[in-house]
C-alpha cells in the first residue's frame, strides 16, 4: 500500500494531505476566501503569495496529524495542471524539492483526476467503468472512466462552467464571492418555479441538440435581463431567494438530464460526481431522484472532498504509484491539459 504526501495549490486553497491508498491519514486545507472576497473574485498573484506563506505550516501539520515522519512516506505528489500558473508553481516546486531532499519518487497529478478520485476516498469499493460528472468553477464535463489514467470526454460545457455561472449570477444579485454556497443557502427559502429560465441547449448542424454538452452563458444573461426587468418595474427589494432558487434549479435539471442520458446511452450503471458544485443541494437531490428512477448508482463525495483538497490528489497519485507511474523532476506546470492526456504527466502516451 502506497503512502503518498500530496500538495494542492491550483487555485485559492492551500492543501496538504497524506493518504495510504484510499484511506486519509491527514488532510489540511487553508482557504483564501476571506482574502479574495474583497476583490469579488480570485486575484492570481495574491493566491500565489498566500500559498507561499501557508504551505510550510500545513506540511508540518499534515505529518503531525498522521503521526508519520519522512521515512514512512513512499512518494511525493503535487498538482501540476490545470490551474493558475503561479499558484501551481508554488506547490509543484515545493513537491519536487521535497522529493529531491528526501529521495522520494515524484508524481505530478492532474487536478481533475483528483476530483474523480475523491469518490474513491468516500467509496473505496468503487471500480471502473463508470461515468463521472465533473462540475466546478472552471470545468463542467461528463467523463467516461475506464481505468486509472484512461478517460474519455463524452460531454462538456461550451462556455461557462457551472461553478462560474454560480459566481457570475451571485455577483448580479449582489451576493458576493463565492457564489455557490450563498445561492444554495438562499434557494432553500425561495420558489424554484417562480421564474422560468432557459436551460441552454447546444444546436447540432444536422438539427436537434447535443445530448450531453451544456451551456450556461445564456442562462446567466437571462438572469441579468430578468433582474433589469424587475428593477425597471420598480420591484424593490428584489426577490433574491426566488431568483436564486429558480437559477439553481435550472442548472441542476440541466446537469441531471445530460448526466442520466449519457449514462444510459453508454451503458454505465454507476454515476460519480466530483468538483465544488457536487456540494450543491439541488444537484444532489435532482440527480439522486433521477438515478433512482433509472436504477443507477449515484455517488457524491462528502462536502469536505468536493472543494479543492490534497487528499484527492494523493489518492490519485497512490493509484498511479502502485502501477509504477512516475513523473520526472523536469515536469512543468500547465494552465490547461485535457484530462485524456493525463498519462503524459508520467511520460506515457495518451491512452
pLDDT in tens, 187-235: 999 999 999 999 888 888 888 889 999 999 999 999 999 999 999 999 9
CB 21 within 8 A of CB 2: yes
DSSP 270: E
Secondary structure of residue 97 in the 3-state scheme: helix
123 located within any domain? no
Same domain, 291 and 317: no
Instruction: Name the domain count of the chain.
Output: 2
Give the model's confidence band at 351: pLDDT under 50 very low, under 70 low, under 90 confident, else very high: low
Give the model's confidence band at 87: pLDDT under 50 very low, under 70 low, under 90 confident, else very high: very high
| Pairwise CA distance, residues 3 & 319, whole Å | 10
Same domain, 177 and 264: yes
Give the model's confidence band at 49: pLDDT under 50 very low, under 70 low, under 90 confident, else very high: very high
Tell me the average pLDDT across 14-41. Answer: 90
pLDDT tens digits along 93-120: 999 999 999 999 999 999 999 999 999 9
Same domain, 114 and 132: no
pTM of the full predicted structure? 0.95
Same domain, 314 and 263: no
CA distances from 270 to 31, 141, 294, 296 (A): 31, 16, 11, 6
DSSP 78: E
Q: What is the mean pLDDT of the chain?
A: 95
Same domain, 51 and 144: no
In angstroms, how far apart are the furthest CA atoms of the chain? 68
Same domain, 114 and 224: no
Can you give the CATH number for the domain in which 134 is found? 3.30.420.40
Same domain, 204 and 272: yes
The length of the chain is 351
Q: Which of 31-45, 180-194, 326-340 has the lowest mean pLDDT?
A: 31-45
Q: For residue 62, what are the domain limits? A: 3-118+306-346
36 located within any domain? yes
> Pairing between strand 297-299 and 130-135?
unpaired
| Pairwise CA distance, residues 171 & 3, whole Å | 42
Scan for cell 469579488, then name that residue. Answer: 40
Same domain, 203 and 54: no
| Pairwise CA distance, residues 229 & 188, whole Å | 24
Same domain, 251 and 107: no
Amino acid at each position: 500500500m502506497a503512502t503518498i504526501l500530496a500538495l494542492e495549490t491550483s487555485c485559492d486553497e492551500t492543501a496538504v494531505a497524506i493518504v495510504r491508498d484510499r484511506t486519509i491519514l491527514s488532510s489540511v486545507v487553508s482557504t483564501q476566501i476571506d482574502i479574495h472576497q474583497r476583490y469579488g473574485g480570485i486575484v492570481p498573484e495574491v493566491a500565489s503569495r498566500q500559498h507561499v506563506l501557508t504551505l510550510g505550516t500545513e506540511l508540518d501539520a499534515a505529518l503531525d496529524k498522521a503521526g508519520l515522519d519522512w521515512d514512512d512516506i513512499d512518494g511525493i505528489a503535487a498538482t501540476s495542471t490545470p490551474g493558475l500558473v503561479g499558484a501551481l508553481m508554488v506547490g509543484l516546486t515545493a513537491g519536487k524539492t521535497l522529493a529531491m531532499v528526501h529521495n522520494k519518487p515524484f508524481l505530478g497529478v492532474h487536478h481533475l483526476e483528483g476530483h474523480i478520485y475523491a469518490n474513491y476516498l468516500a467509496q473505496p469499493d468503487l471500480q471502473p467503468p463508470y461515468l463521472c460528472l465533473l462540475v466546478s468553477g472552471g470545468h463542467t464535463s461528463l467523463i467516461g472512466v475506464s481505468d486509472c489514467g484512461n478517460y474519455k470526454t463524452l460531454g462538456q460545457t461550451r462556455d461557462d462552467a457551472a461553478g462560474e455561472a454560480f459566481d457570475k449570477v451571485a455577483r448580479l444579485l449582489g451576493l458576493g464571492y463565492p457564489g455557490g454556497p450563498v445561492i444554495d443557502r438562499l434557494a432553500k427559502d425561495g420558489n424554484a418555479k417562480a421564474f422560468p429560465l432557459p436551460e441552454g441547449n447546444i444546436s447540432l448542424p444536422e438539427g436537434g441538440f447535443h445530448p450531453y454538452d451544456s451551456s450556461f452563458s445564456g442562462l446567466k444573461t437571462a438572469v441579468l435581463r430578468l433582474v433589469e426587468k424587475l428593477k425597471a418595474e420598480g420591484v424593490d427589494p428584489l426577490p433574491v431567494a426566488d431568483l436564486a432558487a429558480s437559477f439553481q434549479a435550472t442548472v441542476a435539471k440541466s446537469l441531471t438530464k445530460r448526466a442520466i442520458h449519457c449514462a444510459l446511452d453508454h451503458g454505465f450503471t454507476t454515476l460519480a460526481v466530483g468538483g465544488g458544485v457536487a456540494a450543491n443541494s439541488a444537484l444532489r437531490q435532482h440527480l439522486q431522484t433521477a438515478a433512482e428512477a433509472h436504477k443507477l448508482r449515484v455517488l457524491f463525495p462528502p462536502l469536505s472532498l468536493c472543494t479543492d483538497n490534497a487528499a484527492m490528489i494523493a489518492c490519485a497519485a497512490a493509484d498511479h504509484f502502485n502501477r509504477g507511474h512516475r513523473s520526472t523532476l523536469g515536469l512543468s506546470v500547465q494552465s490547461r491539459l485535457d484530462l485524456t492526456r493525463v498519462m503524459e504527466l508520467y511520460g506515457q502516451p495518451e491512452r
